[in-house]
Amino acid sequence: MNEIPPSSTNILPSQHRSLKDRGVDLYKQVESYTPAAFFLGGFVLDLATLGRIDDWSNWLMQVLYIVAAGGLLLWIFLDPEDPPPDSAGKVKKLIYEYRTEAMHFCFGALLSVYTIFYFKSSSLIVSFFFILLLTGLLLANEFQKFKSQGYFLKFALFALCIISFLIYFVPILLGHVGTLAFLLSFALSVAFFYWVFQFLKKRTPDSQLLMTQVFRPVAFVLILFLVLYLLRVLPPVPLSLKYVGVYHNIEKTPEGYKLQYDRPFWKFWQHGSQDFIADPGSKLYVFFQLFSPSAFSDQIYLEWYLKVPKQGWMLQDRIPIPVKGGRDEGYRGYGQKSNYTDGDWRVKVVTSDFREVGRIQFSVKKIASLPEARDWQYDIH
């Protein structure tokens, strides 16, 4: 007896499933990765849209992100449970379902801004530390074993966003960096989180939860920033070094500063004459371009270090230079030395509170007589 072939209508139920159902299944498979995706989305968005550090539209966007992230965090803390399925409409369910992802997106956008600002505002070794710190916090919050700590990392991230915003925004308002600007930023951060703590204290009876999940992470971040400032490793935002180089002569012309140097063509990565061959009686110039916001008026220092055998880098001179803000390419200035010796040199650009903005390293070799000819080259800045 021949078997009756299956009816064409007897198809597996999965073949009849709607596109929406398949999308829901796909989302469930990748659901654990969605917070990281929202973080990455915020970072990419900020890279594409970030302008000058003193752009008011950037300030406004950051304030909106801070308000949104803070509001969502406090809401989740006070109301962690989803509403009963039968008591919530579609819109309410949608809001509850994605509020954590929205908070992550705001944190990602904010922390990407501050990562970029820190990277621009100091020498690589200091900036690299902050990039690792920020990236570590971002990634740690996505692992399940860290999520079991509750709100600790989320409030730590929020505190990091608040103090990072204030330590560059307050100096812009004051027109200078320094100890006063930092202490005012720190005091405002403490005052803000004191208000947050009091706000939550009135609305939750669990004082132990407040101490472990709110007070401790906030206190840790604020104390960390204070320690880093005292150690002079906190990048001096909003300043950033756009350029620094070593030259034989500097002349101001209508086109800009004309910078004289010589170097082999294959050392294209050097700025000026970083292998400095000194003629008798010649001076050594270090030229820099330092960006600072509009209406900024401050003072920086060029610190000259010589590498001394068995002693390391020894400070030889500290030259104060006033700087003005507003120019997109940075304020142009230079320092010069006529009294120097052979050896390895390093010049640091530091703020009035001696935080490093950038540096350049070069070698000096004196010659007894002028060479027959030198192939001089020129930069215009």
Could you tell me the pLDDT band of residue 35, with boundaries at 50, 70 and 90?
A: low
> Is residue 15 predicted with pLDDT exceeding 60?
no
For β-strands 331-337 and 284-291, DSSP reports them as antiparallel
Query: Is residue 163 scored above 90 in pLDDT?
Result: yes
Is the confidence at residue 200, as pLDDT, over 60?
yes
What homologous superfamily does CATH list for 240-380? Macroglobulin (MG2) domain (2.60.40.1930)
More confident position, 272 or 109: 272
Q: Which residues pair with 261 in a beta bridge?
A: 377
42/37: higher pLDDT? 37
Residues of the chain with pLDDT > 90: what percent? 56
- Give me the pLDDT at residue 159, please: 96
**pLDDT classification of 84: cutoffs 50, 70, 90:** low
The mean predicted confidence, pLDDT, of the chain is: 85
Q: Which residue has the higher pLDDT, 128 or 113?
A: 113
Q: What is the per-residue pLDDT for 9? A: 46
Q: What is the pLDDT of residue 99?
A: 85
Q: Regarding predicted confidence, which is higher, 336 or 135?
A: 336
Entry pTM: 0.83
Average pLDDT score over residue span 14-38:
62
Does pLDDT of 228 surpass 50?
yes
Average confidence (pLDDT) over 362-379: 85
Output the six-digit token pair for 4.
Answer: 């009756």
pLDDT number for residue 365 = 94
Beta sheet of 240-247, edge-to-edge order: 240-247, 284-291, 331-337
Average of per-residue pLDDT across 190-203: 96
- Cα angle 297, 299, 300 (rounded to 5 degrees) comes to 135
Give the pLDDT score at 19. 67
Kindly state the average pLDDT of the residues 203-226: 93
3-class DSSP state of 176: coil
Better-scored residue on pLDDT, 308 or 87: 308
Residue 79: pLDDT band with limits 50, 70, 90: confident
Residue 137 has pLDDT above 90, yes or no: no
The pLDDT of 69-74, averaged and rounded, is: 95
Report pLDDT for 123.
Answer: 73
Q: Is the dihedral of CA 118, 119, 120, 122 positive or negative?
A: positive
Q: What is the Cα 368 distance to its own chain's centre? A: 47
The yes-or-no verdict on residue 222 having pLDDT over 80 is: yes
Asked if the model's pLDDT at residue 5 lies above 90, the reply is no
The confidence score (pLDDT) of residue 8 equals 47
In the three-class reduction of DSSP (H, G, I as helix; E, B as strand; rest coil), residue 81 is classed as: coil
In the chain, domain spans: 17-230, 240-380
Q: Which residue has the higher pLDDT, 117 or 238?
A: 238
Instruction: Check residue 286 and give its pLDDT.
Output: 98
Query: Does the pLDDT at position 125 exceed 60?
Result: yes
Please give the Cα distance from 38 to 301 (Å, whole number). Answer: 42
Do residues 197 and 215 make contact, with C-beta atoms less than 8 angstroms apart? Answer: yes
What is the average pLDDT across 73-97?
A: 76
What one-letter code names the amino acid at 287? Answer: F
